[in-house]
Amino acid sequence: MASKEEKLLQFSPFSSALDTGFWHQLTQLKLDVFQLDDAPQPLTGYFFNGDASGIPSHLNLDYNAFQPNFKVPIRHFPSRGFIKNTNTLNDFKTIDKRNLLDTTGKEIWQSIVSGEALENPTLLSRFLLLTFADLKKYNFFYWFAFPALCAPEKITVKERKKINQVLTDEQVEQLLIAYDKEFLPKHVAFFLGKKTKTSFLLAPLKYFDDFYSGDDEFFLCVCDPCNLDDYPGWPLRVFLTLAAYHWSEKLGGVAKVLCLRDRFKEGVRSVDHSLVFTVDLPSISHLTESPRCIGWEKNERGKLGPRIVNLGPSMDPSRLAESAVDLNLKLMRWRLLPSLDLDLISETRCLLLGAGTLGCNVARSLMAWGVRTITFVDNGSVSYSNPVRQTLFTFEDSMNGGRPKAECAAESLRKIFPGVRTEGHVFSIPMPGHSVTDGTKDHVKRDVERLEHLIEDHDAVFLLMDTRESRWLPTLIATAKTKIVINAALGFDTFLVVRHGVRLPQRAVAMETSEKASLTQSISGHQLGCYFCNDVVAPGDSTRDRTLDQQCTVARPGLSMMTSALAVELLISLLTHPQRGQAPADIRSKDEELNVDTECPLGLVPHQIRGFLSRFNLLMPTGQAFDQCTACSNIVVEEYRKKGFEFLLNAFNEPSYLEDLTGLSEMHLSTMDEEVWGFSDDEEM
Amino acid sequence: MAEGLLLSEDEFHQGIYELKELSDRIGDLWVLASEKSSKFLSKRVIQYLPLCPEQTDDSPRDEIAVLEKEESLETLSDLEITATETSERILCSCEYHIIFSSSYGVPVLYFNFYKQDGSLLKLNDVWSTIPDAFNDRLIEEKWTFITQQEHPIRHKPFFHLHPCHTGQLMKASSSLSTSNTPLEYIIRWMSSIAPVVHLNVPMKYAHFLPDGTPG
């Protein structure tokens, strides 16, 4: 493979190889130490002459690059440099790059001329790094230079051979023994070698005068990071400048260069791919000025220009939190539930009507499931008694009259997890039986419209208020808009979680009343009842006749957490069911339904969950939609669709309007009153 | 050690010191690192990983394009030679740390794959670099589960192989031999998990095991 024709010696430049740890350290130092000081800071990088075949030569900067006493990894060789981190992008663009590189070039030249580099050959391998760190967006602009001096201007190759065409196996072994003893442990990449009659010897650069004898075959040795068969790597370039300056005359203008490549494969060492070049090395000892310096790295598109890297995904704490939350959920899917559709869950927009004990805990559980859009509606403010039960508030929120719950809850969610999209709306939900005067009419109308828009813009509505009648309007609107509704209500030691039936969109108006469920196994989702279906009175003002202690929600404290958790889990099961809102609810006896193979990967999707804490007991009743329901029956939905706010106004103002409309009044007349009223205000069926 | 399954912290330290010595002898590149009073083994290798390079990210390329036009610096020109890349592989810096988990009593492998600009490979990309031959094994054997976790010493995101099944794994692989020194333990463990994450463990390590097999 020896080539006789003379051609220019070409070098394979370094490519830079960074790691995230380096950028982390730069960020931290910039914020804590450098701040606005943009003076160059020292850095240590390293290169390697043992890479596997095909790997381009690279200069590495890692997590430890800024450490003043950083010892480079075993079998690697140091490269000293500095980083110039500009304060602005404009500085980065306009800084005189030629001048910056020339400064390093002059330093190298000085170290060669003064002989300092003979003492400390590490000075030959230098780099510089120009950066601008946009720490708001985690964008890092950077540009490496690996300075090389253009002297001698031209170096021609007389001959190129493989190491074993020049040295015997024995000589190679002698070389390696000396190398392993003297140079490798000290991470010295440049040294001298000579082949005598009996052996192969190595020496440090500073002993050239004693070591060199005209009789022996003499070698300039470099640990070569390049893997190419025909070319040496970048470190040789400055080494040849040094050799041309100090030794060219003695060497007679010709030098042999041993590019040592030292690779282990499966624990077996090989230096067979090392190269020996014979080159013309004209003297440059007459030079008084520093030669020109080149070496800016090309970017990934082969252009002479900077590179940019965005490290937001691995450095921005908010994005880290987001991906960690997602990963946690993905683990659940990978390990236990391969069919779980996490995207569907995270994209479900949830509207929480009520930001009290239920609202706070529902929001927390939704976040834990990766739900990213959570909107609160509440007209109350945080009071002193709230923070101990309402888990998104603190004492401070209750001071000075208390902050609005809806806004405070949203802010709290963002503090817990910045990835959540959340807002709080402060207004009250108009209720039947709470009459609307001419003075308040416009205001109520606005609130109704607000609620209509919010329900329209969300996929699931949670009813988490503390009165029964405030649930009526959202039940009606959500039924008309075929949205999922999860309703949760608390007694003292009892609770109810119910998913409202979701009408089939095309039949939302004309639900066929003749279509009765086959009452053997299940009721399909569009035939399920709502919160009001089991009541035979219309909602009215339930707070009017209450004493103070009855107006406060007095419940066993743990009840809200259980209820909120069940409400969210019911939504997730429903979303995971292939029929979603129309998922049927089982009506078989309890033992049977526990054994049935469910369509939903999470298991059963009950219609209602009723809990009795005094007995630590849960029931899962299923109820069909009632065709005279005051909130979800066709006649009510139809009237609302036709007459809109005028219809609502009647419902708000006239206590018997809804009962008359649905025919409940008639039914009341034909029934023994005391039987009906007997369980009218009780939320248990 | 208890039934040969778990290591104490002292045994771990003994094991990694001895492994580091072996590593030096056979040209492997493990380094003993000491950070924040924790000792661990560390190794960094540049290699190609089987992954299509993607060009899309949200960084402002325009800024760069402007600079490319404005700059009139001398190129490396006639003395320059550059390597070529193919489209099915990507050059990565692979960083591996072997860290002791005191809660599991086993060594844990933390690792990161960086592109040349220092950006981290995404978890999905890391998954897709796993050799096909290991996919079945990955699904069946949960111990090889790769996930992203905060590095226990550096507190930065690292990938890791979850340690919860390491104890069982070691029970299975050490059942043949009677004695099991910390060094043997770590070699067996390392050679079981290494191929999944492109960590080369030279066969020569096996010569230091009593039965000559790496587990």
Instruction: Dump pLDDT digits (tens) for A623-660.
Output: 889 988 989 999 999 999 999 999 999 988 887 888 88
Whether A394 contacts chain B with CB within 8 A = no
Segment B12-71, tens digit of pLDDT: 999 999 999 999 999 999 999 988 889 999 999 999 998 876 654 555 556 666 566 555
**How far is residue A175's CA from residue A195's CA, in Å, rounded to a whole number?**
9
* Residues in A touching B24 (Cβ below 8 Å): 74
- Report CB contact under 8 Å: B118, A10: no
Whether A22 contacts chain B with CB within 8 A = yes
Provide the pLDDT confidence category of residue A69 given band limits of 50, 70 and 90. confident
How many C-alpha atoms does A618 have within 13 Å on its Cβ side? 12
Provide the pLDDT confidence category of residue A169 given band limits of 50, 70 and 90. very high
Res A589 pLDDT > 90: no
**How far is residue B213's CA from residue A373's CA, in Å, rounded to a whole number?**
54
Q: Is A359 helix (H, G, I), strand (E, B) or coil?
A: helix
pLDDT at B212: 55
Chain B, 32-91: which have a CB under 8 Å from a chain A CB? 43-44, 46-48, 57-61, 63-68, 70-71, 73-83, 91
Gap from A571 CA to chain B (nearest CA, Å): 28
Res A429 pLDDT > 60: yes
Percent of chain B at pLDDT > 70 equals 68
Looking at residue B117, the DSSP 8-state letter turns out to be: B
pLDDT at A553: 60
Please count the structural domains in chain A.
Answer: 2
Contact (CB, 8 A) for A43 and A78: no
The contacts of residue A484 (CB under 8 Å, 6+ apart) are A459, A460, A461, A478, A499, A500, A502, A571, A574, A575, A580, A581
* Residues in A touching B116 (Cβ below 8 Å): 15-18, 58
- Report CB contact under 8 Å: A10, B79: yes
Gap from B77 CA to chain A (nearest CA, Å): 10
Res A519 pLDDT > 60: no
Res B215 pLDDT > 50: no
> In the structure encoding, which two tokens stand for residue B179, read together?
């004695």
Residues spanned by the domain of A219: 161-182+192-230+248-285
pLDDT at B87: 67
Contact (CB, 8 A) for A48 and A80: no
Residue A664 shares a structural domain with residue A538 = yes
Looking at residue A488, the DSSP 8-state letter turns out to be: E
Provide the pLDDT confidence category of residue A449 given band limits of 50, 70 and 90. very high
Contact (CB, 8 A) for A263 and B202: no
pLDDT at A548: 42
Residue A364 shares a structural domain with residue A411 = yes
Whole-angstrom CA distances from A442 to A395, A436, A439 are 36, 9, 7
Whether A17 contacts chain B with CB within 8 A = yes
Would A264 be classed as within a structural domain?
yes
Residue A544 shares a structural domain with residue A603 = yes
Q: What is the CATH number of the domain that holds A165?
A: 3.40.140.100
Would A52 be classed as within a structural domain?
no
**How far is residue A320's CA from residue B10's CA, in Å, rounded to a whole number?**
34
Amino acid at A588: R
Chain A, 53-72: which have a CB under 8 Å from a chain B CB? 54-56, 58, 60, 62-63
Would A490 be classed as within a structural domain?
yes
* Residues in A touching B48 (Cβ below 8 Å): 54-55
Would A174 be classed as within a structural domain?
yes
Paired strand residues for A134: A139
Residue A274 shares a structural domain with residue A339 = no
Residue A1: exposure state from Cβ atoms within 10 A (0-12, 13-18, ≥19): exposed
- What is the fold, at CATH topology level, of the domain defined by B2-53+83-208? Yope Regulator; Chain: A, (3.30.1460)
* Residues in B touching A231 (Cβ below 8 Å): 81
Paired strand residues for A624: A528
Residue A429 shares a structural domain with residue A562 = yes
Q: Which helix (H) or strand (E) holds B154?
A: none
Instruction: Name which of A10, A299, A306 is nearest B80 (Cβ-Cβ).
Output: A10
Question: Residue B113's closest chain A neighbor by CA?
Answer: A19
Mean pLDDT of chain B: 78
Chain A, 318-377: which have a CB under 8 Å from a chain B CB? 320, 323-324, 327, 331, 334-335
- Report CB contact under 8 Å: B117, A237: no
Instruction: Name which of A56, A264, A300 is nearest B27 (Cβ-Cβ).
Output: A264
Enumerate the domain spans of chain B: 2-53+83-208
Whether A252 contacts chain B with CB within 8 A = no
Work out the average pLDDT over A30-51.
Answer: 92
Residue A556 shares a structural domain with residue A499 = yes
Q: Of A684, A680, A357, A330, nearest to A537 (Cα)? A: A680
- Report CB contact under 8 Å: A13, B76: yes
Residue A336 shares a structural domain with residue A278 = no
Q: What is the CATH number of the domain that holds A354?
A: 3.40.50.720
Would A429 be classed as within a structural domain?
yes
pLDDT at A151: 86
pLDDT at A596: 62
Torsion angle of alpha carbons B142, B143, B149, B153, nearest 10°?
Answer: 170
Return the residue matching tokens 């969950």.
A609
Alpha helices in B146-209 (DSSP H): 166-173, 182-193
**How far is residue A228's CA from residue A53's CA, in Å, rounded to a whole number?**
8
